[in-house]
């Protein structure tokens, strides 16, 4: 047993060292998928922790009450809550006005809350820059200040009145920008906006003729009993009671779309990764056919041969899982940028066990799914056949051969090269299908407008901004993986087609015809992939995207389809032309007959 283990380890190490480029390709392909999955899963963990930290630092409320009525009616609705069972403390009611703020030429919906200079028992916003409120000034919630680009000392206009920005602060009594809960007085609709604090004495002046609303922060004996308290609080007929868990969840919405995009994307990348790994593994197994024969000749059974190969891919898979986990966890804080609205540095270490298990499982599944068939096939191959290093004979595709007879030489060569190895052609189709799907989904995302934001602000929606960033990460990773896959499949095709192309050239095919034929062989299976990728991408976004959808113009889709095909053609052209320039005699002599 120990001897066998030693043999497996020795072969594994030697093989990894002998084929470093292929090993790197495999690691990159698998870690791309695991990294994206980790990033998607890590976003939730990352989002929770800064909220908790900020809540502790700001003596955040357990429940926040906001009546939809105004003036005395609102105060009357809130009053009984302070003495309700389970309430151990409160702050407020604080007057609130729903106004607009102008800064740097941009106007934004703003929840203006009147506060006292002295710190409250519940909800003490932590000042991150400048000072706390005093008459004549305004303190801006930090995420809101970031979005507006204002700092302490700047001047802003609140409903036309000029106020000096005294500082920035963070709180957990309201979700961060843009979910501060701005209420349209005319329709009572809750819209997006930011939060600012002014001195209690200034708010009536700022609100002018508009009636003031109020907010009350409650501290419960049991902070986790917020939901039960909300159910029992029947005095607030027209209004809203928010638990701290609800507010935290709303803060998490900032990255909800990004998270969903990354999770869906990670499965697409996993499929792409399987396609890529399959291509590399098929090439590796073919390249090691002779070694399989030797192993079997000296007494290794099919199981031993399979173990030798699978162990190698398992090690590669585990290494890739580690790299993917590290990359995903390192990238997550950059994507969520919690510092804007919450306190503290994001700490994603140690990662959640479920995230580690998911990433490792994905890596193992990719490695196993991509390697099982070629490895089992190699394990059960005839020893003599393997020792002779003879390639598996290509399958005959009668109708393709017949069809190609009637086509120009380039197409004839291309179709016949594909007909020899249909599985590789299918990998090209899968590669382009997934690439086009993701690109079309990204286009769909760009085509969506934010209907609620139109008309009152041109500020970037931080939720959309994070989604865009997630999609950018996804697109870049996908692009790299798709390029690697294209290069691998092209080179595999070039190697496999060396002899038939050399024979064709011996019979009179020109290097250009041979090279273009190889290019066509790669391009033909890409066409159905691109054609299917467009509806699949649109459909995928329709399933996971928000309710009402806008579709990108046809010209965008057409340009994407052509772009994918052109990039594929360009990637194919170089190895194909290099292969076609190779002297025929060399190709005939260097490949097994």
Partner 1 sequence: MTESVLRARGLTRRYGRGSGMVRAVDEVDLSVPAGESLAIMGPSGCGKSTLLHLLGGLQRPTAGRVWLAGRRLDTMSERSLARLRRDSVGFVFQSFHLMDELTAVENVELAALLAGRSPRQARRRAGYLLDRVGLADRADHLPSALSGGQRQRVAVARALSNEPLVVLADEPTGNLDSAATLEILRLFEDLRTEGQTLVVVTHDSRIAAIADRMITMRDGAFADDSRLAVTAPVHGGWR
Residues that bind partner 1 (CB under 8 A): 393-397, 401, 405-406, 409, 412, 416, 419-420, 499-500, 502-513, 581, 583-585, 588, 593
Q: How far is the CB of 471 from partner 1 (least distance, A)?
A: 43
Nearer to partner 1, 259 or 424 (CB): 424
On whether the CB atoms of residues 247 and 65 are closer than 8 A, the answer is no
Nearer to partner 1 by Cβ, of 35 and 500: the residue is 500
- Which 3-state string (H, E, C) describes 38-57? HHHHHHHHHHHHHHHHHHHH
Nearer of residues 190 and 584 to partner 1, judged by Cβ: 584
Contact criterion met (CB below 8 Å) for 486 and 425: no
CB 43 within 8 Å of CB 256? no
Q: What angle do CA 218, 220, 221 make, to 5 degrees?
A: 155
DSSP assignment of 336-369: H-GGGTS-S----PSPPHHHHHHHHHHHHHHHHH
- Least separation, in Å, of the C-beta of 429 and partner 1? 20
Q: Toward partner 1, which CB reaches closer, 209 or 507?
A: 507
Complex with partner 1: residue 527 or 584, whichever CB lies closer:
584
The two three-digit tokens of residue 80, written as one number: 């009984």
CA distances from 24 to 20, 21, 32, 316 (A): 6, 5, 12, 9
CA distance 328 to 26: 18
User: Which one, 59 or 509, has the nearer CB to partner 1?
Assistant: 509
Number of Cβ within a 10 Å radius of residue 558? 11
Distance between first and last Cα of the chain: 39
CB of 522 to partner 1, least distance (A): 19
**Closer to partner 1 by Cβ: residue 161 or 499:** 499
Q: Which residue has the tokens 């390192």?
A: 330
Q: Which is nearer to partner 1, 217 or 404 (CB)?
A: 404
Total Cβ atoms within 10 A of residue 24: 12
In whole angstroms, how close is the CB of 281 to partner 1 at the nearest point?
Answer: 23
CB of 415 to partner 1, least distance (A): 12
Lookup result for tokens 């501060």: 180
Closest approach, Cβ 421 to partner 1, in A, equals: 10
Shortest spacing between CB 380 and partner 1, in angstroms: 20
């Amino acid at each position: 047993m120990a001897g066998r283990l030693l043999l497996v380890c020795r072969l594994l190490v030697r093989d990894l060292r002998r084929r470093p480029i292929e090993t790197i390709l495999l690691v990159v392909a698998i870690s791309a998928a695991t990294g994206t999955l980790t990033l998607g899963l890590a976003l939730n963990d990352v989002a929770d922790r800064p909220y908790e930290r900020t809540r502790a630092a700001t003596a955040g409320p357990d429940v926040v009450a906001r009546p939809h009525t105004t003036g005395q009616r609102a105060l009357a609705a809130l009053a009984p809550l302070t003495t309700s069972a389970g309430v151990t403390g409160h702050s407020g009611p604080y007057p609130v006005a729903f106004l607009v703020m102008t800064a740097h030429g941009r106007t934004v919906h703003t929840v203006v809350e009147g506060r006292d200079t002295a710190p409250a028992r519940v909800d003490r916003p932590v000042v991150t820059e400048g000072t706390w409120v005093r008459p004549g000034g305004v303190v801006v919630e930090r995420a809101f200040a970031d979005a507006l680009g204002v700092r302490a000392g700047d001047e802003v206009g609140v409903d036309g009145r000029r106020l000096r920005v005294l500082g920035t602060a963070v709180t957990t009594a309201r979700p961060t920008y843009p979910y501060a809960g701005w209420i349209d007085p005319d329709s009572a609709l809750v819209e997006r906006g930011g939060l600012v604090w002014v001195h209690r004495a200034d708010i009536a002046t700022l609100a002018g003729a508009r009636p003031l609303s109020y907010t009350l922060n409650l501290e419960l004996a049991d902070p986790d009993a917020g939901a039960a308290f909300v159910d029992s609080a029947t005095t607030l007929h027209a209004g809203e009671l928010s638990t701290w868990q609800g507010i935290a969840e709303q803060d998490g919405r900032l990255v909800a779309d990004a998270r969903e995009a990354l999770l869906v994307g990670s499965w697409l990348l996993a499929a792409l990764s399987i396609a890529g790994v399959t291509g590399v593994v098929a090439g590796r197994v073919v390249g090691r056919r002779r070694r399989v024969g030797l192993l079997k000749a000296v007494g290794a059974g099919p199981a031993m041969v399979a173990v030798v190969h699978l162990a190698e891919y398992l090690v590669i898979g585990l290494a890739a899982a580690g790299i993917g986990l590290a990359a995903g966890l390192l990238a997550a804080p950059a994507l969520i940028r919690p510092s804007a609205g919450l306190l503290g540095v994001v700490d994603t270490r140690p990662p959640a066990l479920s995230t580690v298990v998911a990433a490792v499982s994905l890596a193992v599944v990719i490695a196993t799914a991509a390697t099982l068939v070629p490895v089992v096939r190699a394990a059960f191959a005839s020893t003599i056949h393997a020792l002779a290093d003879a390639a598996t004979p290509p399958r005959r595709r009668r109708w393709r051969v017949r069809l190609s007879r009637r086509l120009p030489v380039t197409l004839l060569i291309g179709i016949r090269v594909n007909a020899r190895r249909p599985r590789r052609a299918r990998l090209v189709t899968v590669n382009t299908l997934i690439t086009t799907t993701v690109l079309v989904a990204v286009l769909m995302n760009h085509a969506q407008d934010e209907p609620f934001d139109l008309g009152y602000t041109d500020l970037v929606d931080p939720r959309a901004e994070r989604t865009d960033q997630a999609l950018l990460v996804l697109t870049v990773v996908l692009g790299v993986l798709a390029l690697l896959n294209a290069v691998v499949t092209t080179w595999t095709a070039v190697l496999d087609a060396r002899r038939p192309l050399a024979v064709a050239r011996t019979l009179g095919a020109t290097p250009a015809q041979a090279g273009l034929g190889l290019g066509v062989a790669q391009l033909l299976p890409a066409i159905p992939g691109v054609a299917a990728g467009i509806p699949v991408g649109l459909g995928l976004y329709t399933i996971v995207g928000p309710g009402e959808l806008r579709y990108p113009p046809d010209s965008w889709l057409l340009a994407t389809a052509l772009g994918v095909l052109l990039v594929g053609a360009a990637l194919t052209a170089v190895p194909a032309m290099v292969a076609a320039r190779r002297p025929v005699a060399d190709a005939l002599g260097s490949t097994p007959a």
